[in-house]
Chains A and B, each alone.
Chain A
Amino acid sequence: MYRVVLASRKTVEWIGLLVVAFLFVFPFLWMASTAFKTMPEVRQFPPTLLPETWEWSNFAQAWESGPFLMFTWNSILVAVGILILQFLTAVPAAYAFARYKFPGRNLLFGLVLIVLMIPGQVIFLPIYVQLSGWGLVNTLWSLILPYAASAFGIFLLRQAFMQVPDEVIEAARLDNASEWKIMWTIMVPMAKPVLVTFGLFSFIYHWNDYFWPLIMTNSDEVRTLPIGISSLHMSDGGTLWNVMMAGNMILILPILVIFFVAQRHIIKAFIYQSK
């Protein structure tokens, strides 16, 4: 009897989870399906779930509509460049906030937290003017430098560093380890799950970012994938949604791959966070 109750409860749980999962996955499936349809089929009502004919040429059409190889390369440079700089700035900052006592610490950390709350759209104009003064607008630097320090990363890492037991650090100090060494060889490995989480957030955000690259760049040579994709969209009607969705598939492919590869880490990182 008990076993039956348990089994049926499990079944209900599973069904519930499946429904939720479906809700999340459906838009992606819909995008994938649309990417393979012909335009009349996109318009058709009632809509078809799977394409009647598989129109692979949508992908070629999207890819050939602009210098997409260059866009992709730029996207990689920007997202990875930002990631590296953010690690280099966030780790020492977080270590200092977590482990040192110095005058003005709370005030400075408060400032970092305030940065978290200001949306980029509010401050883009002064930054634009500044970068333009330095002659950096329309270069990859204008996409990377403004994001070199991440308030979110500092905050997240500080919390992780604070959880490292004091004994570990003291033991290291007794062994004559320098602060630099403690930070990189003891703290960083212990905060690995958090670093992975933060790295993913940062990478996905900047990989997908549309607003900033659009504002800062004027020519294809320094533009990123999302702008290339958006140029598939027509302003005054007549957008080819199938080609547009094919472009989006190209855009999200690397992120999907990362998720598949790093799935275990991601789950671990989130569990770690919620502890």
Chain B
Amino acid sequence: MFSLKKTGTILCALTIGLSGVLAGCGSSSKDQSASAGSTSQPAASTASSGPVQIDFWYALGGVRGKTIEDMVKKFNETHKDIIVKPAYQGAYQENHSKVLASVAAGNNPDVTMVEIASIAAFADAKVLEDLTPYSQGDEKKYIPGLMKNSYWNDKLYAVPFNRSTPLLYINRDMLKEAGLDSNGPKTWDELVSFSQKLSKKEGDKITRYGFSTPVDIWFYEALVFQGGGNILSENGKELTINNEAGKAPLELWSKMVKEGIMKNPPGENYNAWDVAEQDFLNQKVGMIFTSTGSLTELKKNAKFDMGAAFLPANKTFGTPTGGANLVMLAKSTDAEKKAAWEFMKWMTDTEQTVPWSIASGYMPVTTEAIDSAEMKAFYEKEPNFKVAVDQLQYGYPRPMAPGYKELQDVIQKELQRAMLGQATVDEAMQAATEKGSKLLKK
């Protein structure tokens, strides 16, 4: 799941200011590495003797943030020549704002998490360091399905770290009771017919819906891929959703809502996700789309046999991935960059990614990890987690274009307009395309 929009205004202001400001900040004085207190000490010399100190900014709170802190501690204990200073910087978008501001001010971190659909914007603004000279082919260890958002203009800019993917969550008990295959629907047609059988009415009131999903860009992307379409043209310059594959998801969802077999969960942004999950746990809906990130929490709270399945196929299966990658900042010194790569490599090695995946619910990032005994034992116990990894063979990259951060908001607004009946599907796609092409030409 990827966190959006919360600080949209800030970001807007930033992206406008970014290109100009960056140009005016040639020389960077790195002085923020000093350990806080009320005084900031001048730069600890990195070139000469002593360990290299690097800053790592992360964007996950709660238990997951704790896990990251513990991992960094372990890294510092095992690497005497490097000191990594981790810092929590709010959710993805807040972290993005901070990174951009810090680059402009010349006190940027050396490694940070970046939400995968924003990699292009960062790389395009020349904020990121090309990783190819550091990785030297090492990047082959990562699962190919997770690498699709790591490149920009054929250069490697990011390695996968905390990665998720959407899944179809099913209430197996409810499906069995209705005489349906408890592995869930495999196709869009089955999704409709399953939902019809699961929905319940008392008089005029619908007491149970078969299906529910937040009308979110992430799931929309998935359904466009499933129809053989794509959000952007090959060169990333055009929006390509004003066609059959682009309209099909909206037609499917609005038809199901009209029929009373799908619930369009109310609420802005992530509130809608919460509503869908809440309804699912309370057995008000039988199946929902949501992120792998929710597996642990939903499993813990479900009072029924909960299962996970591939998103149903239209012409093919298809899914985007989500979450964040690790990137290196271009403005760091050479010594810091060398240390930064050491750290990025270590954080995403099999030895770290396996416990990280088990603790956090994110997918492991190396192919080796999936075949490891520890991971296999975990999948044995929690087969739902395996579903996410298996689905990666049908993975598509999230659209890569510098303007996609803003564009996804535009598309999502039009999707919602269509779902609420304020526009026809054709009108919505037409409007999205017109507004979108302006953003992409910028």
Q: How far is the CB of A247 from chain B (nearest CB, A)?
A: 11
Interface readout for B22-46 with A: 1 if CB under 8 Å, 0 if not?
0001000001101111111010000
Interface readout for B274-304 with A: 1 if CB under 8 Å, 0 if not?
0001110110100000110110110011000
Known: A214-B89, A214-B90. Contact between A138 and B291, CB under 8 A?
A: no
Q: Which residue of A lies closest to B85 (CB)?
A: A219
The B interface is mostly helix, strand or loop, or mixed, namely mixed
Known: A137-B32, A138-B40, A214-B94. Contact between A231 and B282, CB under 8 A?
A: no
Known: A45-B278, A125-B104, A236-B323. Contact between A219 and B293, CB under 8 A?
A: no
Cross-chain pair count, CB within 8 angstroms: 145
- Which residue from B32, B36, B98, B109 sits with its C-beta under 8 Å from A214? B98
Whether A219 lies near B87 (C-beta < 8 A) is: yes
**Contact partners of B66 in chain A: CB under 8 A:** 65
Interface readout for B126-159 with A: 1 if CB under 8 Å, 0 if not?
0000000000000000000000000000000000
Whether A43 lies near B40 (C-beta < 8 A) is: no
State the A residues within 8 Å of B (CB). 39-40, 43-45, 65, 121-122, 124-125, 128-129, 132-133, 135-141, 211, 214-215, 217-222, 227, 230-240
**Contact partners of B297 in chain A: CB under 8 A:** 237-238
Whether A139 lies near B90 (C-beta < 8 A) is: no
Complex Cα distance, B300 from A94, in Å, reads 59
Q: List CB contacts (< 8 Å) of B83-116 with chain A.
A: 85, 87-92, 94, 97-98, 101-102, 104-107, 109
- Which residue from B34, B36, B62, B279 sits with its C-beta under 8 Å from A240? B62
Whether A39 lies near B301 (C-beta < 8 A) is: yes
Known: A132-B107, A236-B291. Contact between A218 and B60, CB under 8 A?
A: no
- Which residue from A133, A139, A231, A238 sits with its C-beta under 8 Å from B88? A231
**Contact partners of B301 in chain A: CB under 8 A:** 39-40, 43
**Contact partners of B17 in chain A: CB under 8 A:** 125
Complex Cα distance, B394 from A52, in Å, reads 45
Complex Cα distance, B38 from A39, in Å, reads 38
Whether B104 lies near A235 (C-beta < 8 A) is: no
**Contact partners of B101 in chain A: CB under 8 A:** 124-125, 128-129, 215
Complex Cα distance, B35 from A220, in Å, reads 10
Q: How far is the CB of A272 from chain B (nearest CB, A)?
A: 35
Known: A125-B104, A135-B40, A221-B35. Contact between A237 and B55, CB under 8 A?
A: no
Complex Cα distance, B281 from A237, in Å, reads 14
Whether A45 lies near B63 (C-beta < 8 A) is: no
**Contact partners of B282 in chain A: CB under 8 A:** 43-45
- Which residue from B25, B32, B39, B293 sits with its C-beta under 8 Å from A218? B32
- Which residue from A133, A140, A237, A239 sits with its C-beta under 8 Å from B38? A140
Complex Cα distance, B66 from A39, in Å, reads 20
Known: A138-B36, A230-B90, A236-B1. Contact between A121 and B13, CB under 8 A?
A: yes
Q: Which residue of B lies closest to A210 (CB)?
A: B90
13 new A-B contacts, CB < 8 A, other than A121-B10, A221-B37, A236-B3, are A125-B21, A132-B102, A135-B42, A137-B32, A214-B89, A215-B97, A215-B101, A221-B36, A227-B88, A233-B62, A233-B91, A236-B164, A237-B291
**Contact partners of A218 in chain B: CB under 8 A:** 32, 36, 55, 57, 87, 89, 109
Known: A43-B282, A137-B32. Contact between A234 and B39, CB under 8 A?
A: no
**Contact partners of A237 in chain B: CB under 8 A:** 1, 273, 277, 290-291, 293-294, 297
- B162 within 8 Å of A (CB atoms): yes
Whether B281 lies near A43 (C-beta < 8 A) is: yes
Whether A234 lies near B273 (C-beta < 8 A) is: no
Known: A231-B88, A236-B3. Contact between A129 and B104, CB under 8 A?
A: yes
**Contact partners of A214 in chain B: CB under 8 A:** 89-90, 94, 98
Complex Cα distance, B17 from A39, in Å, reads 43
